[in-house]
Amino acid sequence: MNQIVYLVPLLGLIGLLVMAIKSAWVNKQETGDENMNRLASYIAAGAMAFLKAEWKVLGIFTAIAAILLAWSGTLVEESSPVIAIAFIIGAVFSATAGYIGMKVATKANVRTTQAARTSLKQALKVSFTGGTVMGLGVAGLAVFGLGGLFIVFLKMFNVVNVSSTEMKTAIEVLTGFSLGAESIALFARVGGGIYTKAADVGADLVGKVEAGIPEDDVRNPATIADNVGDNVGDVAGMGADLFGSYVATILATMVLGQEIVASSADGYNGFSPVLLPMVICGLGILFSIAGTWFVRIKDDKSNVQMALNMGNWASMILTVIASYFVVMYMLPDGVITLRGVEFTKMGVFGAILVGTAVGAIMSIVTEYYTAMGKPPVLSIIQQSSTGHATNIIGGLAVGMKSTVIPILTLAAGIMGSYYCAGLYGVAIAAAGMMATTAMQLAIDAFGPIADNAGGIAEMSQLPPEVRERTDNLDAVGNTTAATGKGFAIASAALTSLALFAAFVGIAGIDAIDIYKAPVLAGLFVGGMIPFIFSALCIQAVGKAAMDMVQEVRRQFREIPGIMEYKAQPEYEKCVAISTKASIREMMLPGAIALITPIIVGFVFGPEVLGGLLAGVTVSGVLMGIFQSNAGGAWDNAKKSFEKGVMINGEMFYKKSEPHKASVTGDTVGDPFKDTSGPSMNILIKLMSIVSLVIAPHIAVGGPGLEAEGDCCKKDKIEACADNHDMMGGKCDMSKCATMSMEECAQMCDSMGCDSMERAYCMSMYNDKGDYVGSCMSSCGKKCTSKEACMKNCGATCAAKHMGAGKACCADDAKCEKKEKGGACCKDKH
């Protein structure tokens, strides 16, 4: 390894530096009149109130989890109590990423409104720069954190060899960083999602429906909470989500990279496959910064979407080109092998291409299914004409149908990237896709800033051309939100697969065989989890919205003069309700995600846990796509009525019966697309990471066959135990069962067996010359502990067992501990 390892945190620092400059620029912009500032300050204060409340709970959670992790780190050789520190840093970084995004978003919103008073160009510049700050903050913190910690751990554990136990420890400890990041992400996403939709639904139900006042009206007590929700859900939640994906993807690729065996040397002492994902993602930051230069428009007539697309494509293409040179420069020539699959560095680049293509296709498909004017949304509009029920049926059908192409794309992506570079290919494909996260997030975070800006314009009763400009930005923001969700779910799916592969390696199993009954049971239970998780999220929104409705009704009733603008509603009460409800309701789903893999892993072993993870991933991706797209399509079907829609030759506008039906769909879709749908991303990632963290603990000692694969991590041969008579070729081994070792040898010779056949026959005898025939196979099935092995097979067989590379130890207590570390106990006997 050489200086390149220091390049990684440096690239992260550059990202953070540019972020600071951009943030300062945003701060310098004008903030408009006093009224606007007052409203903006309410939103900012509400957002901070939520963050503080959330942090208090998460602080307690982090402290407890860190103590448990530190304790668990002492149990196995491959881990270390330091994992707790990595965990805390990950949690703090993730929270910081969310904080930065929220802080700048709550500043950029009012400044965008003010900028929109002059021109669309300026409004785009302010809002997109706000988004860029968020994107660079997330990516910069991730790359800086991972790269920096990696260097620290390399030194701390004195790593010199990439395949050493020390290196394994360093990587295992690094997973703590990812676990911390993803745990915070879960709560931020779920809590934020509940917050934003509780406020939104609550504000709409009383404000729009009962009181008949428009959206974003200052008289509505819940309107500030609604605007705060955009920030805590769409900005902080999304930021923490992608921060988690980004870190997890890089980490999973590092874990797999560490296992790689190359036929020729690289210039990095074998570390190049470990460093590669960090370097590519670091460069992705630079090219994301470069891409922001392309996001500019001329005047109010320019196409904002086009400008954003330009920036996106520019950073993607630049990153792919750069990846080619980085891969060629860093990776070794010749054959690279990972777990028996051979590939070349050209294959690795191919996998990166595949990953980028998967991300792009997922975004495009998501946009198709949720965009106004496209057939799916039009079909929902059409079905709104016959009432609420058919609108709902239409949206559900669109959501379900929208899973087809993404899943086929994902399946093709898995196979394609695996074909290119084995499991490392699957992981690096995800990393390639995630490399431009900074840009993706900039485009994504721009939407809620524009949305907020529009809200402030409305609440401050600014002239219509201002609202028109912010509406233009907001409309584009809706599309980018949809494509961003497509990107997020694709990244989560590939990340989970990479983590899945990493888990298999560390858990020491070499197969997850769903043909085994317990594994299949795990698959079923795993598949069910996204359903209960979604149900809990949806219910939480419903409950919290009810609380909000009661509070808004109370204020209208008890505070006279609200309707006449004479009295100001108690905004902070509504903010407090949303905050409290979201914190309360995020506990149970969060606990399910965190605890289920731990229970299943320790009770049923790593293979069943693998089945569980596969079930969660498949079902979670499906439910995520289904819910996000159904929600997005309903939303835009409703929005279509604002400009009027043609159904069976008749034009319908707002307040028409079909429009009312479309509002029902939108309300159902709200928790789908902003709470439960996007939570699926984190659910599947978090459960995979938890599994990865506990992998060394469950690797040996679980029941059944799982425990024994430890020595066989890299490759295995299979032979038929019950068909011993075949294995000897000409030698009829079945006859040996009744012969002494010498007699058997004589028989082999007399039958003209070759040396290999003879050796096989001989291997059926132990060193005392006793026939132990199928002992290995029956032991293999039953040896769950040293004692069981001794009991089932006897000492002789146990020893033979060990001789065959099995991890069944006869009598060395200390060896047992060593085994958990993955090394065989051969040298102890």
CA–CA separation, 603 vs 598, rounded Å?
A: 8
Binding region for a copy of itself (CB under 8 A) out of 154-162, 278-286, 441-449, 543-551: 543-551
Instruction: Give the residue with the Cβ less far from a copy of itself, 122 or 796.
Output: 796
Estimate to the nearest angstrom the gap between the alpha carbon of 820 and the chain centroid: 28
Shortest distance (Å) from residue 159 CB to a copy of itself: 22
- What is the spatial distance between Cα 120 and Cα 468, in angstroms, rounded to a whole number? 9
408 interacts with a copy of itself by CB under 8 A: yes
Q: Which CB, 85 or 336, lies closer to a copy of itself?
A: 336
H/E stretch holding 195 reads helix 165-203
Rounded Cα distance, 323 and 424, in Å: 15
The reply on whether position 412 binds a copy of itself by CB under 8 A is yes
Integer CA distances (angstroms), 243 to 75, 95, 437, 438, in order: 29, 10, 9, 10
Asked if residues 181 and 257 have their Cβ atoms less than 8 Å apart, the reply is no
Nearer to a copy of itself, 651 or 717 (CB): 717
Task: Tell which positions 104-123 bind a copy of itself, by CB under 8 A.
Answer: none
Q: How far is the CB of 820 from a copy of itself (least distance, A)?
A: 17
Figure out which of the listed residues 223, 344, 667, 784 binds a copy of itself, where binding follows CB under 8 A. 667
Structure tokens belonging to residue 752: 């003209």
Which residue stretch of 103-111, 349-357, 450-458, 537-545 sits at the interface with a copy of itself (rule: CB under 8 A)? 537-545
Site for a copy of itself in 621-640 (CB under 8 A): 621-622, 626
664 interacts with a copy of itself by CB under 8 A? yes
With respect to a copy of itself, which residue has the nearer C-beta, 564 or 722?
722
Residue 804 interacts with a copy of itself (CB under 8 A): yes or no: yes
| Comparison of 73 and 611: residue with beta carbon closer to a copy of itself | 611
Report 204-223 residues binding a copy of itself (CB under 8 A).
205, 209
Which residues touch 521 (CB under 8 Å, ≥6 apart)?
608, 611
Residue from the set 31, 122, 164, 539 that interacts with a copy of itself by CB under 8 A: 539
The mark string for 422-451 relative to a copy of itself (x by CB under 8 A, - otherwise) is -x--x-------------------------
Q: Residue 207: helix, strand or coil by DSSP?
A: helix
In eight-state DSSP terms, residue 164 is S
Residue 241 C-beta: closest distance to a copy of itself, Å: 21
Which residues within the stretch 304-343 sit at the binding site for a copy of itself (CB under 8 A)?
340
At closest approach, how far in Å is the CB of 387 from a copy of itself? 7
Choice between 64 and 408, CB closer to a copy of itself: 408
Q: Total number of residues binding a copy of itself (CB under 8 A)?
A: 124
Structure tokens at 364: 């495009």
| Helix ranges, 74-119 (H) | 82-116
Residue nearer to a copy of itself on the CB measure, 395 or 447: 395
Of the two residues 426 and 481, which places its CB atom closer to a copy of itself in the complex?
Answer: 426
CB of 597 to a copy of itself, least distance (A): 15
CB of 686 to a copy of itself, least distance (A): 19
Q: How far is the CB of 617 from a copy of itself (least distance, A)?
A: 8
15, 606, 658, 780: residue in contact with a copy of itself (rule CB under 8 A) = 780
Q: Does 762 bind a copy of itself (CB under 8 A)?
A: yes
Give the Cα-Cα-Cα angle 189, 534, 243 (nearest 5 degrees): 25
Residue 564 burial (10 A CB sphere; 0-12, 13-18, 19+): exposed
648 binds a copy of itself (CB under 8 A): no
State the minimum distance, in angstroms, from the CB of residue 757 to a copy of itself: 6
Residue 715 makes contact with a copy of itself by CB under 8 A: yes
Tell me how far, at minimum, the Cβ of 79 lies from a copy of itself, in Å: 23
CB of 311 to a copy of itself, least distance (A): 31
Rg (C-alpha) for the chain, rounded Å, is 29
Give me the residue label for tokens 């913190």. Answer: 141
Identify which range of 136-144, 152-160, 308-316, 749-757 contacts a copy of itself by CB under 8 A: 749-757
By CB under 8 A, residue 755 contacts a copy of itself: yes
Minimum CB separation of residue 643 from a copy of itself in Å reads 23
Closer residue to a copy of itself, CB minimum distance, 288 or 679? 679
Instruction: Decide: helix, strand or coil at residue 11.
Output: helix
Q: Dig out the tokens for 690 from the structure.
A: 């938890």
Q: With H, G, I as helix, E, B as strand and everything else as coil, classify residue 124.
A: helix
554 binds a copy of itself (CB under 8 A): no
Residue 803 touching a copy of itself (CB under 8 A): yes
Minimum CB separation from a copy of itself for residue 777, in Å? 5
Q: Under 8 Å CB-to-CB from 595, ≥6 apart: which residues?
A: none
Nearest partner of 615 among 518, 491, 486, 490, judged by Cα: 518
Is residue 211 packed enough to be buried (19+ CB in 10 Å), middle (13-18) or exposed (0-12)? middle
Between 701 and 805, name the residue whose CB sits nearer to a copy of itself: 805
Contact between 407 and a copy of itself (CB under 8 A)?
Answer: yes
Nearer to a copy of itself, 13 or 528 (CB): 528
Residues 723 to 742 in contact with a copy of itself, rule: CB under 8 A? 723, 726-729, 741
Q: Which of 239, 484, 611, 702 binds a copy of itself (CB under 8 A)?
A: 611
Least Å from the CB of residue 618 to a copy of itself: 4
H-run or E-run covering 336? strand 336-338
Tokens of 71: 């304790």
- What's the DSSP call for residue 332? P
Please say whether the beta carbons of 343 and 336 come within 8 A.
yes
Residue 689 sits at the vertex; the CA angle it makes with 687 and 690, to the nearest 5 degrees, is 65
Please give the Cα distance from 495 to 673 (Å, whole number): 21
- Contacting a copy of itself (CB under 8 A), which of 601, 671, 677, 678? 671
Compare residues 297 and 509 and give the one whose CB is closer to a copy of itself. Answer: 509
Count of beta carbons in the 10 Å neighbourhood of residue 287: 23
Residue placing its CB nearer to a copy of itself in the complex, 517 or 651: 517
Stretch that binds a copy of itself, among 89-97, 232-240, 574-582, 753-761 (CB under 8 A): 753-761
- Kindly state the smallest distance separating residue 684's Cβ from a copy of itself, in Å: 12
Residue 619 in the binding site for a copy of itself (CB under 8 A): yes
Q: Which of 157, 26, 139 is nearest to 79 (CA)?
A: 157
Q: Residue 2 pairs with which residues in a beta bridge?
A: none
478-517 mask for a copy of itself (x: CB under 8 A)? -------------------x--xx--x----xxxxxxx-x
- One-letter amino acid at 49 equals A
Taking the C-alpha atoms of residue 410 and residue 771, their distance in angstroms, rounded to an integer, is 51
- Per CB under 8 A, 805 contacts a copy of itself: yes
Reported as half-sphere exposure (CB side, CA atoms, 13 A), residue 483 has a value of 27
d(CA 450, CA 465): 15
- Using CA atoms, how far apart are residues 503 and 481, in angstroms rounded to an integer? 32
CB of 761 to a copy of itself, least distance (A): 8
Per the rule left: phi > 0, alpha: psi between -120 and 50, beta: everything else, 461 is left
**Cβ–Cβ contacts within 10 Å for residue 128, how many?**
28
Give the C-alpha separation, 393 to 382, whole Å.
Answer: 12
718 makes contact with a copy of itself (CB under 8 A): yes
Q: Which residues pair with 343 in a beta bridge?
A: 336
Position 811 contacts a copy of itself (CB under 8 A): no
Local structure of residue 701 (DSSP, 8 states): T
Query: For residues 369-398, which are near a copy of itself according to CB under 8 A?
Result: 383, 386-390, 392-394, 396-398
Rounded Cα distance between 119 and 25, Å, is 18
